[in-house]
Amino acid sequence: MLQNSELKTSWVNPFQLNQAVTINNLKAGLGIVYEGGVPSSITLGGNVVVGKVHGSVIIHTGVDPSKQLLHVNIINLDVADLLKAIGSLIEVDLKIPGGANAFFIRKLEVYLSTGVELFNVYYLRSIRLDI
């Protein structure tokens, strides 16, 4: 049995993590095998905005090796800003040599799928890396 949930609204500052973090279209799924009541699969996904960085992720994994998915898409990632944000969360001053724009990713997409349908979307069997 697979149970899915979706949060269609925006979640600003999730878990009081950071005011600059917003999660949209949060999706979660849990598959359960009746014999032992043990989770047989888990799905987690959504769109994340952290300041100027936008991204989306959906991950599905479980005991069935023919149903696996990892899809990550990140736009406008300044690694210096990322380190600064992480530093503010853990209260440590993190900096990258070279300062702002020393390492900037305009677009990064990682797609690994065995071919699986989740939330009424079919993810084709494929491996893709787009930078």
Domain boundaries, the chain: 2-130
Residue 22 phi, psi (nearest 5): -135, 135
Q: CA 62 from chain center: how many Å?
A: 17
- Enclosing H/E stretch for 128: strand 126-130
Please write the tens of the pLDDT for every residue from 51-108: 778 899 999 999 889 999 999 999 888 888 777 777 776 778 877 776 666 778 889 9
Mean pLDDT of 41-48: 93
pLDDT of residue 73: 95
CB-side neighbour CA atoms (13 Å) of 12 = 3
Assessment of whether the complete model's pTM goes beyond 0.85: no
